[in-house]
Chain A
């Protein structure tokens, strides 16, 4: 892989991640890990009108996974859940400003997205359940 990947802003996000920590009363909280690296990420979401009203993450692991999660939380704030679910590897790589990444490290880059998507899925499920319970 290109060592240029570790650009200054990646290191900044790694060392001073944005949206880091917990939300007071999150609607959804999801955690997952990448057993290869031991990377771990937990995401708290606040959802309003099908949009991500607020987001926090916490985690540990390599610079790729943590910086990627940090940048992603910036990007998805205010986004509709459905739109977020459409994000994929290409958008993550674009977000990171990386053209190539060794195959083994792509899982690191996409861990944050995986956790966010799981949280969004759960939020949508809950919305459907709530709908069903309405008289």
Chain B
């Protein structure tokens, strides 16, 4: 592709961009905002913002308890959002979708209920070297408490998961917990190969979909994953709402996570019987507006069409990879082919520290993340302490990539590379 020639998906992205009020604002220096940090959190479309304010303005009430009209309306909207999320992930039933705060909480829920119930000394947990701290630290705690062992699938030179020794590594494994898409290298992990092998070895599979759910068509039944964790805020929804998909049989057998109101059926001073799925895992008053906002977000994504979302991401990422590769002194990390990665590009440039790079880019209105992106072990493996990371989403255009490149060239001039 020739630099500057927009792909056909870009015209739609220009229109999509207009749905996001924040993207029309300018920085304090009057620069247009070039938001390239959606892997940290996405911007929110007008429809999500309006849905959330409409709940607060028109039917704010607690759910699952009031008999009056607005309480019923709130309950209906909350449960309708669950239905939308279940459909988005193609779950068999709404009972298999638990609302949480974020992907981190979804993973911890599985760790502290299924994990502590099922893992014992001598068992193994298999992760990959790509994992975000959220999908490492809970398992380290579990391993330390139970005496279970942590194992890792290694990476090749492009940051792709090596599967040659998968069967050997799976021996004695009770749980495979792995990211679907890496937030640092962008690597798409081939769940369709790993899940059947894991099941054949008798393991349960949890996929961390924080970076995948916003970008790929995720079908939990086709993938046959046992648990799938997602964060709303990375997929156009408000912060503080996330989801956990779990297969019904597993969720039913699991003890509750947090205990309190809403997750009960009947309480006496001596004992409690728990509520049915999925409410058994939703103790206390939920993030009602967040859940309703997440419903609006998946509606919006489905209107865009997840096929287009992915197509645009591949077009934009391959353009970005091509332009970044041509910047002198710039080193790119992760898979070379855009088809093998999500819309994430981590890089370093000469001896410019990523934080200095991000500061110079910020002065140009270009927002990128600098640091270890909550993957310190992966950075250590790459021999790095930090990288700069640009990440793309539905509202980014080829012009945003051009702005990034221009700002990088400016940084190179300032640092006299």
Give me the interface of A with B, judged by CB distance under 8 Å: 1-3, 5-6, 11, 15, 36-38, 60-64, 102, 105, 108
Contact = CB atoms under 8 A, between A and B. Distances in A.
A60 B385 contact: yes
B351 A38 contact: no
Interface of B: 351-356, 359-360, 362-363, 370-372, 385-386, 410, 414-416
Contacts of A108: 355
B356 A38 contact: no
Contacts, number: 47
B356 A63 contact: yes
Contacts of A5: 359
Given A38-B371, A38-B386, A62 B362 contact: no
Given A38-B386, A61-B385, A63-B356, 6 more contacts: A2-B363, A3-B410, A38-B371, A64-B359, A102-B359, A108-B355
Contacts of A63: 352-353, 356, 415
Given A3-B414, A11-B415, A11-B416, A37 B355 contact: yes
Contacts of B359: 1, 3, 5, 64, 102, 105
Contacts of B410: 3
Contacts of A64: 355-356, 359
Nearest to A38: B385
Given A2-B363, A6-B414, A36 B385 contact: no
B351 A62 contact: no
Contacts of A1: 359, 362-363
Contacts of B362: 1, 102
Nearest to A101: B359
A85 to B, nearest CB: 28
Contact of A6 (B354, B372, B415): B415
Contacts of A15: 351
A63 B355 CA distance: 9
Nearest to B352: A63
B379 to A, nearest CB: 8
Given A11-B415, A15-B351, A36 B356 contact: no
Contacts of A38: 371-372, 385-386
Report which residue of A2, A5, A62, A108 has the largest number of chain B beta carbons within 10 angstroms of its beta carbon: A62
Contacts of B416: 11
Contacts of B372: 38
A37 B371 contact: yes
A2 B352 CA distance: 17
12 contacts: A1-B359, A1-B362, A2-B363, A3-B359, A3-B360, A3-B363, A6-B360, A6-B415, A38-B372, A62-B354, A63-B353, A105-B359
Contacts of A105: 355, 359
Contacts of A60: 385
Report which residue of B356, B386, B410 has the largest number of chain A beta carbons within 10 angstroms of its beta carbon: B356
A5 B351 CA distance: 17
B363 A61 contact: no
Given A11-B416, A60-B385, A37 B353 contact: yes
Contacts of B363: 1-3
A24 B385 CA distance: 29
Nearest to B355: A62
A80 B410 CA distance: 42
